[in-house]
Structure 1
Amino acid sequence: MLFSKRILVVLDSGPQSRNALHRALLIAERMVCDLELIWVGKSTPWSGIEADMDALAKTEIRFTQEVVTDDLIDAVCKRWKQDHFALLVKGCDPRHSSRKLLAPRDWKLLRNTPCPVLLVKHDHHWAHGRILAAVNTTTHNPALRANNQGILMLAGFIARALDVPLHAVIATPPAMQGAEPEMQSQVLIDQRAQRCAEKVLSDMNLTVDQLHIGEGPPEHWIPNVSKEIDASLVVIGTHARRGMSAALLGNTAERILDRLNTDILVLRAGLSEPLKPLIKEVDTAVS
C-alpha cells in the first residue's frame, strides 16, 4: 500500500488553524489513524490552539508534534519521503492572488503534495451538509478520466461514511458555431455530458442524488452549485500544472479556492489507483 494511515496537519497562526485541527481529529477518529502535527511560521509555536492541543492529548488518537523552520513545501516533501501520509490537512488561507509573481502557499501545496490535500474553510460538520464531486466526464484524456473516477471514489466514500447525500457537478463549454454538430447546441452538449456521467457512474456502481450540469467556466459554475445545495465539502481534481503554464493559467482547483465557502478536498491526477487499497480498507472497517 502506497499510503499509510497517517494524516499530516499543517498549523500556523492563520484564522482557520483551529478548524483544520478539529477536522483532522474527526477524520482520524473515523479512520482510526495517527496525526502528525507540524507548526509553520514565525509566531510562537502552537499559540492560539493550546486548549485544543490539551483536548487532543486526552483523546485516544496518537499524534506527534514538530516545529518546521524550513520552507513549508520542502518540509512536506521531506516528510513524504519518510512516511507516505494519506492526507494533508491545512486551514485555507483567506485570499489567493494570481497577480503576484510567486504563487500563494496553498497553490504550491496543491502542485507539490503527492497526496490528497484538504483545505479547511469552516467548522460546520460535514454530516449536516452535502458532498459535491466536481468532474469532467466528457474528457478523452485517460489521465483525467482516471482522476474523475478518483474524485467520485473519494466523494462517494465520504458520503457513505457520513450517510449524507452525494451530488456531482459538471461544467460544460459553451456552444460554438463552426464546431462539430454536437458542439453547436448547448442542449446537445449537456445531453452528452449527462450520458458520459451516467456511464462513468454505472461503471463504478455509484449512485448520486443529483447531477448538476451547466454551461460556464468551472470556477463559476461549481461555486454556484455548491452554494445552491449548501455543500459542506467539494471534492475536485487538479493537473498540478507547474512552470510558466501555471504562472499564466493556474489550475481550476487553484482559481476556485476563493470562490468557494466550503471545505475543499483536492486530488492530484495519478493518485486514484494508489488510494484504492486504503479507501477499501477504511471503508470495510467503518461499514
Structure 2
Amino acid sequence: MQNILVILDKPKHEQIALQRALELAEKSGAKLHLVSFVYEPLASMPMLSSSMLNVSEELEKERGKWLQALQSEYSLPPGSTAEVIWHHDITYWTLEYLDDNPCDLVVKTAQKQFGRGGFGSIDWRLIESLPTALWLAVSTHWVKRDRIVAALDPAIDNPLHVELNQRVLSLGGTLSKLLDAELESVACVPVHSEVADLDKFREETGALLKAVDKVIADSGVNCSRTHFVTGKPAAEVNRVVDRNKARAILVGRGVRKGPKGFLLGNTAERILGRANTDVLIVP
C-alpha cells in the first residue's frame, strides 16, 4: 500500500478517517493526500456570484488555516500532501482525482446518521462508483479485538462471485498483516429456518462449506475461522461481526450490473446499512 486518499471530516469533528489512515500509513509506509472540501452554493448563482466572491475567498482562506493547524497537530508520513478543495460534488472530484493519480485506498468517515440504509448520499455514491477500495470509518470505541471479517458470497458456482471473493480475501489478508489483526470470513446462505432444519439441506451445506474453504485456500490468505451461517444475511453477517467485536467488515462490489445491483445485489446493501463498525467496500 503506497498511496491513500483521505477525505477529511469538517472542522471540529473527530477526524476518524484521518486516524484510520494514519494507522495504516504508519504500518505500511504509505503517503497520504488529505483533502478538505468547502463550498458555498450561492457562489454559483449568476446574480449573486460577484457579491459572494469575497465570502468564498474567505471561506477557503479560513479552511486553509485550519488544514495547516491540523497538519501541525498530526504527524503526517513523509511525502504526504494536503489541500483545500472548492467543489460542490465530492464524488465527482474523487473520481477525477483517481483517474489522474495512483491510489490504493480511499478513506472517509461514514455519514451513519443520514440517508438510506444508515449512510449518507455521498457515501452511497462513493460505494457505487469508486474503482478503488473504500474504507468508511465510524466511531467504534466498543471494539475490543483487532479482528477483520470478510463477507463472502456463497454462490461460488459463479466465476464472477469467486473472483470477487478472492479480491475481498486479498485485501483482507493485506490489512490483517498491516494492522496485526486476525482475519475471519463469514458466508451466509439466505434460507428460512424450516429449510435449514431439513436433513437434505444440511448435507448440501456441508459440501458448500467445503467449497467455500477451497476458495479461501486458493486465495493463499490465512483465515483463522470461517463462520458459515443461514438466515437473513444482513442480520446474520452483522451478528457475527458484532459478536466477535470486529473492527471492520469487508464487502465486495461489482458482480451485478444496473441500478439495483451495484454490490452483490440488495443483500450486500442491507449488510452495509446495518453495520455497526467500519466497512471496506472492495470493487
Where 1:260 maps in the other structure, the secondary structure is coil
For residue 159 of structure 1, report the CA deviation from its aligned partner. 1.7
For residue 29 of structure 1, report the CA deviation from its aligned partner. 2.0
Bigger RCO (CA 8 Å, 6+ sep): 1
1:234 matches 2:249: yes
Q: TM-score, normalised by structure 1?
A: 0.76
- Out of 159, 163, 186, the residue aligned to residue 180 of structure 2 is 163
**Residue segments in structure 2 that go unaligned for 5+ positions in a row:** 41-58
In the alignment, which residue of structure 2 is the partner of 1:150? 167
- Out of 186, 197, 210, the residue aligned to residue 195 of structure 1 is 210
Q: Deviations over 1:156-190 (max 9, x none)?
A: 2222233332211001121699x9xxx98442343
Count of matched residue pairs: 258
For residue 213 of structure 1, report the CA deviation from its aligned partner. 0.9
Give the direction of change, closer, same or farther, for the CA distance of 1:125–1:56 in structure 2 (3 Å limit): farther
Where 2:15 maps in the other structure, the secondary structure is helix
1:73 matches 2:91: yes
In the alignment, which residue of structure 2 is the partner of 1:276? none
Where 1:9 maps in the other structure, the secondary structure is strand
1:95 matches 2:92: no
1:136 matches 2:153: yes
Give the direction of change, closer, same or farther, for the CA distance of 1:184–1:104 in structure 2 (3 Å limit): farther
Q: Which has the larger radius of gyration?
A: 2
Q: Is the Cα–Cα contact under 8 Å of residues 172 and 214 in structure 1 kept in the other structure?
A: yes
1:107 matches 2:124: yes
List aligned pairs for 1:1-16, cutoff 5 A. Answer: 5-13=2-10
Report the AA paired with residue 192 of structure 1: A
Where 1:66 maps in the other structure, the secondary structure is strand
Q: Deviations over 1:21-73 (max 9, x none)?
A: 11111112222122111222448537987754322356535223231413111
Report the AA paired with residue 106 of structure 2: L
List aligned pairs for 1:215-234, cutoff 5 A. Answer: 215-234=230-249
- Out of 56, 66, 80, the residue aligned to residue 62 of structure 1 is 80
For residue 225 of structure 1, report the CA deviation from its aligned partner. 0.4
Report the AA paired with residue 85 of structure 2: V
Q: Is the Cα–Cα contact under 8 Å of residues 193 and 231 in structure 2 kept in the other structure?
A: no
In the alignment, which residue of structure 1 is the partner of 2:225? 210
Cα RMSD, aligned residues only:
3.4
Partner Cα separation in structure 2 for residue 264 and residue 127 of structure 1:
16
Q: TM-score, normalised by structure 2?
A: 0.77
Give the direction of change, closer, same or farther, for the CA distance of 1:42–1:240 in structure 2 (3 Å limit): farther
- Out of 267, 270, 273, the residue aligned to residue 258 of structure 1 is 273
Q: Is the Cα–Cα contact under 8 Å of residues 147 and 181 in structure 2 kept in the other structure?
A: yes
Report the AA paired with residue 19 of structure 1: I
Give the direction of change, closer, same or farther, for the CA distance of 1:243–1:165 in structure 2 (3 Å limit): closer
- Out of 23, 27, 30, the residue aligned to residue 24 of structure 2 is 27
Where 2:247 maps in the other structure, the secondary structure is strand
**Residue segments in structure 1 that go unaligned for 5+ positions in a row:** 269-287
Give the direction of change, closer, same or farther, for the CA distance of 1:168–1:250 in structure 2 (3 Å limit): closer
Partner Cα separation in structure 2 for residue 200 and residue 206 of structure 1:
10
Q: Is the Cα–Cα contact under 8 Å of residues 140 and 277 in structure 2 kept in the other structure?
A: no
In the alignment, which residue of structure 2 is the partner of 1:18? 15
For residue 123 of structure 1, report the CA deviation from its aligned partner. 5.8
**Identity rate of aligned residues, in percent?**
26
Q: Is the Cα–Cα contact under 8 Å of residues 134 and 168 in structure 1 kept in the other structure?
A: yes
Q: Is the Cα–Cα contact under 8 Å of residues 133 and 168 in structure 1 kept in the other structure?
A: yes
Q: Is the Cα–Cα contact under 8 Å of residues 131 and 234 in structure 1 kept in the other structure?
A: yes
Give the direction of change, closer, same or farther, for the CA distance of 1:194–1:250 in structure 2 (3 Å limit): closer
Give the direction of change, closer, same or farther, for the CA distance of 1:54–1:167 in structure 2 (3 Å limit): same
Moved more, 41-50 or 226-235: 41-50
